[in-house]
Structure 1
Amino acid sequence: MADRDQIILSTTNLLASLPSHVTLVAAAKFHSPEEVLAAVEAGVQVVGENYVQEARRMVDVVGRRVRYHMIGKLQKNKVKHAVDLFDLIETVDSWGLAEVIDQRCAAVRHTLPVLVEINSGLEENKSGILPERAEDVVRRMRLLKHVRVQGLMTMGPLSDDAEDYRRYFRITKELFDHLASARIPGVEMRHLSMGMSDSYRVAIEEGATIIRVGTAIFGPRPPRN
């Protein structure tokens, strides 16, 4: 378990360095609720989880004093629980997933904001919608009554050099701006989620309004139990 005082210090310094328009999502990634509570004490208001079962554990301990974002790949068979747990799903990577979310939200009379995940690196084995297909998918999603598109999310191909991410963040920002200018009814380009611990500075330079940071707050990711 990471040192509580170090988490508080890292979180405080990170929050102080961010522009006011940027939201920090603390990516829990198997860190304990106690570690996340230290970050919350330091000012974190949004917690990101990669797995539904981990989010349930976190909500049970940390509670609803913070908002929760789904930042990992969401399986369709987990949507029922995800709709109940998360305030925002950042990883809608297909029309089919959007439909399932809409159906579940309709069943519980709930409307859920989502971000559309963009495969900005055109990677065959990576989740996300290709940039050239994004507008068509977003226009279809506006017809869903219980899902609200509020922006885009991307990761980009993994690299040890933060600068390597810049072109992929820029591609996604250009798409974000295009969709915003299209003024699609029922669609709001409010959030642009890009950048993690090793790339968030570049992401902010390229227009990110949400960053997903884990290691820079909590230290190395622990093994999954």
Structure 2
Amino acid sequence: MIEQAIQDRVSALEERIVAACRRAGRPRDQVRLLPVSKTKPGSALAEAMECGFRRFGENRVQEIVAKQAYLPEAEFALIGHLQTNKAAKAAELAVEFQALDSLRVAAALDRKLQTLGRSLDVLVEVNTSGEDSKFGLAPEQVMEFCGQLKDFDSLNPIGLMTIAMPSTDEEVVGACFDQLAELRNRLRAEAVASSSWDELSMGMSNDFELAIAHGSTCIRVGTAIFGSRPAPMAV
């Protein structure tokens, strides 16, 4: 049964997270687990909610629309690239946006949030691997970009996000995580945008243990909870 498989996966995943935190000398409560439910049916999210989850990571606004209709009690973090024309809907539905890398998108979000009378936690996405295929700011752009976020009253910048180089070489992957942590430390030291920059969102199903060792505060895990992702998505 899918439900039992999810329960078993969550239990096994939790054991790995606890072990990774112990090896890193970190308390378990320093690491937030964000289940990534993209392409998964609403029924799978309902089963995951029975394991105690409430907030889920989604790549596309359209999926949040469909799944929130199915599960109005769920919360959604948008973790994928956002086009400006989808920003208004994202501002309505998302409780967190982890892939901010454009001032145009920031402005569009802020305008809609102002009309809604609410704020939105945002993380700035950084392309630490330097791959052309990835979204996110180049590391050298981060300080200036983050400084400009003070102009958007409804955005609450809380940290940085990255997707590491897909590699089996731990030094290569770890270097991506270290670069993100170093940028966070610079932002903190200079009190940029009056934020404490607490969040480091890094680590997925294949590298979250290494990410925890390098200081991640949020791991985005999909496959290790929900299994492989056959398309298309059904709700």
TM interval, shorter chain, is over 0.9
Aligned residues: 223
Q: Distance in 1 between matches of 2:91 and 2:230?
A: 26
Q: Distance in 2 between matches of 1:46 and 1:56?
A: 14
TM-score (norm 1): 0.93
Residue of structure 2 in register with 1:28 after alignment: 37
Partner SS for 1:116: strand
Preserved contact between residue 110 and residue 154 of structure 2 (Cα < 8 Å)? yes
Residue of structure 2 in register with 1:102 after alignment: 110
Q: Distance in 2 between matches of 1:92 and 1:50?
A: 12
- Larger mean CA deviation between 6-15 and 69-78 belongs to 6-15
Deviation, 1:161, is: 5.1
**Superposed CA offset, 1:44-77 (max 9, x none):** 232000111111121122222x431101111111
Partner SS for 1:36: helix
Preserved contact between residue 96 and residue 122 of structure 2 (Cα < 8 Å)? yes
Residue of structure 2 in register with 1:221 after alignment: 229
Residue of structure 1 in register with 2:124 after alignment: 116
Paired amino acid for 1:194:
M
Q: Distance in 2 between matches of 1:9 and 1:164?
A: 31
Counting aligned pairs with the same residue, the percent is 31
Match of 1:203 among 201, 211, 227: 211
Q: Distance in 2 between matches of 1:164 and 1:185?
A: 30
Partner SS for 1:135: helix
Task: Kindly report which structure 2 residues correspond to 1:18-167, keeping only aligned pairs within 5 A, or say none.
Answer: 18=17, 19-64=28-73, 66-160=74-168, 164-167=172-175
**Superposed CA offset, 1:151-189 (max 9, x none):** 000002323556542110111011111111212243231
Gaps of 5+ in 1: none
Partner SS for 2:29: coil
Gaps of 5+ in 2: 18-27
Bigger RCO (CA 8 Å, 6+ sep): 2
Q: Distance in 2 between matches of 1:224 and 1:142?
A: 39
Paired amino acid for 2:64:
A
The alpha-carbon distance between structure 1 residues 134 and 98, as it changes in their structure 2 partners (threshold 3 A), is same
Paired amino acid for 1:24:
L
